[in-house]
Chain A
Amino acid sequence: MNRRTFLAAVGGALVPAAATAAPNRDEQRHNNRVELWHNYAAKTENLLVRLMTTRETSLLDEPLTVTGSLLFLGPGTLVLRDDGLSGSTTIMTREGTLSFANGVKPPAMVPSGRVPAIDWLTDRMLRMFASADTPDALTDGARVNIPRGGGYRLELLPPTGSTIRRKLRSLAVELDPVAGAITQITIAEAQGDRIVLGLADHRQNLAEDDLEPSLAPVRAYLPSLRE
């Protein structure tokens, strides 16, 4: 075997190896992210986070930015409450969702099963914070895209061609590279609006007394906590 033949043979052998290595790398990036997420989420019984919400919309001259808190109560209750009367409160549970301006009598809860896009978003957001047995719980049932570039980001997409896509384009999650906590959630709506939820100051598994100040304003609207 001369040198040229040998090099061609080695090259030929490496091409399929390289070809199979490419998807493995994507898979590896995916696994890295979900395992990082799982390291943090697996321990979550409850979670209280400071929240900065920004909505970029053509309705407003400037993006709307409000601060508030995000409260998660395992296994399936999520409360996003803005500070002050000029913000809103959003409650997401498996049974239904509720969204109302602070200081206003809330409407009745919208039971799940009415609006597919709301059901999908609620399910994905509850999965983000709920404790799970396996890392894949974060991405199960969703199409996943891992954007290029720095940062531990994962993009979850509604099923192709589903009616959900008429309302919602994507839901992106950014993880803390060290702890695995979620630091940013970006929701891209079909009409062009973008909502960025910036999460900071994560406090995991707080005692009931520490949760009480955040729970008190919404306790009456949480089916799981209603006496």
Chain B
Amino acid sequence: MSVSRPAPDPPARRLSLGALARARPKTIVAIWLLAAVILGLRVWGGAGMRISGEIYGLVPMEDRPADDEPMALLTLRPDDAAAPDSDKLIDAAAAVAEELGEERLPIAPPRAELTGWLDAHALYLLPAHARAELQTRLTDEAMTDQIERLRARLSSPLYGLTEEDPRRDPLGLRALGAAATDVYGDIGRTTTQGAEATAAGDLLSRDGASVLMQLSTDRGPDALRTTMAAALGDRPVDVAIVGPQATAQSVAARIRGVVLRLASLIAAGLALVLAVALRAVRPIVSILLAVVTGVLGLLWLAPDLDPYGASLVVLLCGFGCEGALHLQRISARGWPGAAVMGTALLPLWLSPYPVWRQWSVWWLVGIAMIALVLRLAMPAYNQLLGGPTALAGGGFRLRPSRLIAVVLSVGALSTGAWAAQRAAFRGFDRLTADLGALDDAGRKVRDAFFDPSRVVEARSYGADAAQALEQAASDMPALERLIPAVATKIDSPGELVLVESEVASRRAELEQLKLRERMGSLRLILESRGFRSDAFGEFLRSSSSLEVAPTATRAVEGPLGHWVRRYVVDEDGRVAIRSRIHLGPDETTIPPSPTDAAGEEISLRGPAVAARRDRATFADQLGVFVAAQLWLGALFVWLGTRSLPVALAAAVTALSAQTAVLGVMIPMRIPLGPHLVPALLLIGASALVAGARACQAVALKRPIYATGLMVTGLCQVVAGLALVGTGIPLWGQIGLCVAIGASMASGAGMFVAPGLARLFSLRIDHPEDQAKAARDDDDDSEDDA
């Protein structure tokens, strides 16, 4: 593919990395190889690559779950011969609780303490709507009816198996308040999956085969497992830790398990693509070594490698190759391509996703490092050993067609507009499973107890725990209004206490009912119907007395105090009670922000609520990121070419490639979400560069090397496919998106961009500029050679 070139200008007229490389090739190659060996040894020794497994990277910091509150799942080892023996499990849980001491907290109110509290304060705690009904229920006629009904139902063989407890509530008064909360109306059964609170305050699954315990500890999962296993001794019980730290450990292990396969896949893929294109060993080795050096350098500088950043590092290998294949340059010095690619993720610096904010800069650093090695070390290497980087085969003169360009572009844009409305959405709270982090223990917790990923918090503040609890009680009505549209359950000690200011008015209200007299009547009615009134003594006594009110202070200092502590957290010198809200399964429902009695907003926190809010704004944000990237990329192209039509055509081409990918994602059932934003931006960058190259080739009347553009795209496809090959679903989605998008970007660059550029301006570039650009281009190509 020889092209006649004019004599180059003297290279000394400007700073050129190529010239520097030619001047001191031995030194540069020696430094390069030394750096590559050192960086390689660091990674080999385990110091150069720190894998964190942090799965909540996309979640805003304030919405991340606490690291120091894991849960422990105790499961009976399956025995085919017998049904699960929950007695053994409860015994095991007691042994573990004893060993852990203060590190273990009740996850549910301990049964006896809760029952005692409700027995003592049942009438105080009735919700407002039930208090009017209460008066009706306490008339002689109503009580007689209720007791006769009770007697009638005693003949049913099912009566004793229900949750009803006539000794504690012969009149069925608790049912009046049952609609609002599980804890109040349905003592013991605390989850919709049917798990029950044990006497100690752990949760026992309905099948009796597993117990869930709440921990509060700074110790890591391994230390906890060791301690708990020692406490369990030879009991036939398995223990698993469930929580952010355990999940991070499992994800990190999964990533470590695929690193070697991933490295092999990408190295083999890139070598194959480059071999087909270049058909020479030395350039392939040098390009691969340059990319590897750049990536290792990034790993040395970058923070811990989380699952999201790791996928970008893999893509960096493929996108870094773009600078190695010197085809038609966008500008004389060849910097716009690297600039477009390097700044592709820069718009994410303004995104709400912490991990993407971080990696938007690290990506730029990575591309810069690879570009530096390619521009400095590779020419030196070629100078030393000979053998320029050259493509086999010749190019062709591209005749841009405006019609084809417009049809393809409009088709892609309309497909994208259609797809954007219909694409499934995957919020960042649901990516745990896609990272392969939802293990058996996590699934069991979700199926047998509750889904921790749907639990969000609302904080109520006070100077101390009692004040915060009182505020939580005051916030309860606002939170309860979230049921059933948004939430399925409110789990808060606030529902068991009364605000101090309400105690007096509630007492006055109850005193009007003349409870002592009413209970006297009830005793007579019971006796007249053959009941032993002593059997109902606890109810009759507690209902007659209004002296003890369910205040926050009493709850914090009383038998429920240990359980209440689970909800308490110190925050900036204040104490907060964290009410837990179990959101419903409909992910499209965005929880409204409730307001407390003073009219102040009660903010809801947690990955689930953050993900739902993100879902609502995702389309707009994606549009902003894409627009920013295209604007930035088009600016670099314009600065490089000084041609507005080319810049505009490249930007529209990039947008077409991105929207076309959206269209393909629907039939391939790839859900859209924040995890795919960088992939879409990289596809845009790839199309922008390919489009600008093609436009320049046409403008300068140069042959376009389709093979070169294809090879560039194929390197990116290889990186995407390597991610797919790891078997991690999240990486598979990112990889597939990139692989499809990169192939489209090359095609769009060739067939759409030049046609659009011609459409935007009959004369793509000014003739004088063309001539100058041609001279510069030839000069620079000589430099490279």
The residue on A at minimum CB distance from B532 is A61
- Quick check: which of B152-160, B295-303, B615-623 contacts chain A, the rest being far away? B152-160
Residues of chain A in range 15-51 having any CB-CB distance to chain B below 8 Å: none
* A115 to B160 alpha-carbon distance, docked (Å): 12
Question: Is the Cβ of B208 less than 8 Å from the Cβ of A163?
Answer: yes
Is B784's CB within 8 Å of the partner chain A? Answer: no
- Quick check: which of A80-88, A129-137, A147-155, A213-221 contacts chain B, the rest being far away? A80-88
Question: Is the Cβ of B156 less than 8 Å from the Cβ of A80?
Answer: yes
Q: How large is the interface on A (under 10, 10 to 19, 20 to 34, 35 or more residues)?
A: 35 or more
Residues of chain B in range 133-184 having any CB-CB distance to chain A below 8 Å: 148-149, 151-163, 166-167
Residues of chain A in range 153-196 having any CB-CB distance to chain B below 8 Å: 159-163, 167-168, 185, 187, 189, 191, 193, 195
Question: Is the Cβ of A163 less than 8 Å from the Cβ of B154?
Answer: no
**Proximity bits, B205-233, A CB within 8 Å = 1, else 0:** 01110000000000000000000000000
* A104 to B148 alpha-carbon distance, docked (Å): 11
Question: Is the Cβ of B530 less than 8 Å from the Cβ of A60?
Answer: yes
Is B60's CB within 8 Å of the partner chain A? Answer: no
Given contacts A59-B531, A61-B531, A61-B532, contact A163 B152 (CB under 8 A): no
Given contacts A90-B158, A99-B156, contact A59 B166 (CB under 8 A): yes
B156, B159, B208, B530: the one within 8 Å of A61 (CB): B530
Interface centre among B88, B148, B161 (most CB of A within 10 A): B161
Question: Is the Cβ of B149 less than 8 Å from the Cβ of A104?
Answer: yes
* A115 to B532 alpha-carbon distance, docked (Å): 28
Question: Is the Cβ of A99 less than 8 Å from the Cβ of B159?
Answer: yes
Given contacts A61-B531, A117-B161, A167-B161, contact A161 B153 (CB under 8 A): no
Is B768's CB within 8 Å of the partner chain A? Answer: no
User: How far does the Cβ of A80 sit from chain B's closest Cβ, in whole Å?
Assistant: 7
Question: Is the Cβ of B531 less than 8 Å from the Cβ of A88?
Answer: no
**Proximity bits, B691-732, A CB within 8 Å = 1, else 0:** 000000000000000000000000000000000000000000
User: How far does the Cβ of B166 sit from chain A's closest Cβ, in whole Å?
Assistant: 6
Is A121's CB within 8 Å of the partner chain B? Answer: yes
Question: B156: which A residues are within 8 A, CB to CB?
Answer: 80, 88-90, 99
Is B469's CB within 8 Å of the partner chain A? Answer: no
Given contacts A59-B535, A118-B162, contact A162 B86 (CB under 8 A): yes
Is B196's CB within 8 Å of the partner chain A? Answer: yes
A53, A86, A193, A197: the one within 8 Å of B151 (CB): A86
Given contacts A80-B157, A87-B152, A114-B194, contact A58 B535 (CB under 8 A): yes
Question: Is the Cβ of B82 less than 8 Å from the Cβ of A66?
Answer: no
Interface centre among A62, A162, A168, A187 (most CB of B within 10 A): A162
The residue on B at minimum CB distance from A122 is B158
Question: B86: which A residues are within 8 A, CB to CB?
Answer: 161-163
Question: Is the Cβ of B158 less than 8 Å from the Cβ of A118?
Answer: yes
Question: B207: which A residues are within 8 A, CB to CB?
Answer: 116, 163
Is B85's CB within 8 Å of the partner chain A? Answer: yes
Question: Is the Cβ of A59 less than 8 Å from the Cβ of B83?
Answer: no
User: How far does the Cβ of B115 sit from chain A's closest Cβ, in whole Å?
Assistant: 14
Question: A205: which B residues are within 8 A, CB to CB?
Answer: none
Question: Is the Cβ of B158 less than 8 Å from the Cβ of A58?
Answer: no
* A97 to B159 alpha-carbon distance, docked (Å): 11
* A48 to B75 alpha-carbon distance, docked (Å): 45
Residues of chain A in range 55-113 having any CB-CB distance to chain B below 8 Å: 55, 57-62, 64, 66, 68, 80, 82, 85-90, 92, 97, 99-102, 104, 113
Total interface residues in chain B, CB < 8 Å: 36
Given contacts A118-B161, A118-B162, A189-B161, contact A59 B154 (CB under 8 A): yes
* A174 to B369 alpha-carbon distance, docked (Å): 86
* A121 to B158 alpha-carbon distance, docked (Å): 8
* A127 to B76 alpha-carbon distance, docked (Å): 29
Question: Is the Cβ of B160 less than 8 Å from the Cβ of A163?
Answer: no
Question: A113: which B residues are within 8 A, CB to CB?
Answer: 194
A53, A58, A61, A114: the one within 8 Å of B155 (CB): A53
User: How far does the Cβ of A161 sit from chain B's closest Cβ, in whole Å?
Assistant: 3
**Proximity bits, B516-538, A CB within 8 Å = 1, else 0:** 00000000000000111001100
The residue on B at minimum CB distance from A187 is B157
* A106 to B600 alpha-carbon distance, docked (Å): 44
Question: B531: which A residues are within 8 A, CB to CB?
Answer: 59-61
Given contacts A101-B149, A161-B83, contact A82 B206 (CB under 8 A): no
Given contacts A58-B532, A167-B161, A191-B160, contact A66 B83 (CB under 8 A): no
Question: Is the Cβ of B157 less than 8 Å from the Cβ of A161?
Answer: no
Question: A80: which B residues are within 8 A, CB to CB?
Answer: 156-157
User: How far does the Cβ of B186 sit from chain A's closest Cβ, in whole Å?
Assistant: 11
Question: Is the Cβ of A62 less than 8 Å from the Cβ of B161?
Answer: no
The residue on A at minimum CB distance from B160 is A189
Question: Is the Cβ of B204 less than 8 Å from the Cβ of A88?
Answer: no
Question: A62: which B residues are within 8 A, CB to CB?
Answer: 530
Question: A64: which B residues are within 8 A, CB to CB?
Answer: 151, 154-155, 530
Question: Is the Cβ of A86 less than 8 Å from the Cβ of B148?
Answer: yes
Question: A167: which B residues are within 8 A, CB to CB?
Answer: 160-161
Interface centre among A58, A101, A161, A191 (most CB of B within 10 A): A161
**Proximity bits, B612-633, A CB within 8 Å = 1, else 0:** 0000000000000000000000
The residue on B at minimum CB distance from A102 is B152
Question: Is the Cβ of A163 less than 8 Å from the Cβ of B204?
Answer: yes
A61, A99, A101: the one within 8 Å of B158 (CB): A99
Question: A117: which B residues are within 8 A, CB to CB?
Answer: 161
Question: Is the Cβ of B82 less than 8 Å from the Cβ of A88?
Answer: no
Question: B148: which A residues are within 8 A, CB to CB?
Answer: 86, 101
Question: B167: which A residues are within 8 A, CB to CB?
Answer: 59
Given contacts A64-B154, A86-B152, A104-B149, contact A161 B208 (CB under 8 A): yes
* A163 to B148 alpha-carbon distance, docked (Å): 31
Question: B161: which A residues are within 8 A, CB to CB?
Answer: 115, 117-118, 121, 167-168, 189
Question: Is the Cβ of A160 less than 8 Å from the Cβ of B151?
Answer: no
Question: A87: which B residues are within 8 A, CB to CB?
Answer: 152, 155
Is B84's CB within 8 Å of the partner chain A? Answer: yes
The residue on A at minimum CB distance from B159 is A99
The residue on A at minimum CB distance from B88 is A161
Question: B154: which A residues are within 8 A, CB to CB?
Answer: 55, 57, 59-60, 64, 88
Given contacts A159-B82, A163-B86, contact A195 B208 (CB under 8 A): no
Question: B83: which A residues are within 8 A, CB to CB?
Answer: 159-162
* A99 to B161 alpha-carbon distance, docked (Å): 11
Question: A86: which B residues are within 8 A, CB to CB?
Answer: 148, 151-152
Question: A163: which B residues are within 8 A, CB to CB?
Answer: 86, 196, 204, 206-208
Is B87's CB within 8 Å of the partner chain A? Answer: yes
User: How far does the Cβ of B574 sit from chain A's closest Cβ, in whole Å?
Assistant: 41
Question: A168: which B residues are within 8 A, CB to CB?
Answer: 161
* A80 to B83 alpha-carbon distance, docked (Å): 30
Question: Is the Cβ of A60 less than 8 Å from the Cβ of B532?
Answer: yes
User: How far does the Cβ of A196 sit from chain B's closest Cβ, in whole Å?
Assistant: 10
Given contacts A59-B531, A163-B196, contact A121 B157 (CB under 8 A): yes
The residue on A at minimum CB distance from B85 is A161
* A76 to B79 alpha-carbon distance, docked (Å): 30
User: How far does the Cβ of B455 sit from chain A's closest Cβ, in whole Å?
Assistant: 23
* A169 to B194 alpha-carbon distance, docked (Å): 21
* A74 to B685 alpha-carbon distance, docked (Å): 71
Question: Is the Cβ of A55 less than 8 Å from the Cβ of B155?
Answer: yes
Question: B82: which A residues are within 8 A, CB to CB?
Answer: 159-160
Question: Is the Cβ of B158 less than 8 Å from the Cβ of A97?
Answer: yes
* A206 to B149 alpha-carbon distance, docked (Å): 32
Question: B530: which A residues are within 8 A, CB to CB?
Answer: 60-62, 64
Can you list 6 contacts pairing A with B, beta carbon distance less than 8 Å?
A: A64-B151, A118-B158, A121-B158, A159-B84, A185-B157, A193-B160
Query: What are the 9 closest A-B residue pairs judged by CB atoms, nearest first?
Result: A161-B85, A159-B83, A101-B152, A189-B160, A99-B156, A90-B156, A101-B149, A117-B161, A161-B87
A sample of 15 more A-B contacts (CB under 8 A), given A61-B532, A159-B85, A195-B157, is A53-B157, A58-B535, A59-B154, A59-B531, A60-B151, A60-B531, A68-B155, A86-B151, A115-B161, A115-B163, A118-B161, A160-B82, A161-B83, A161-B86, A168-B161
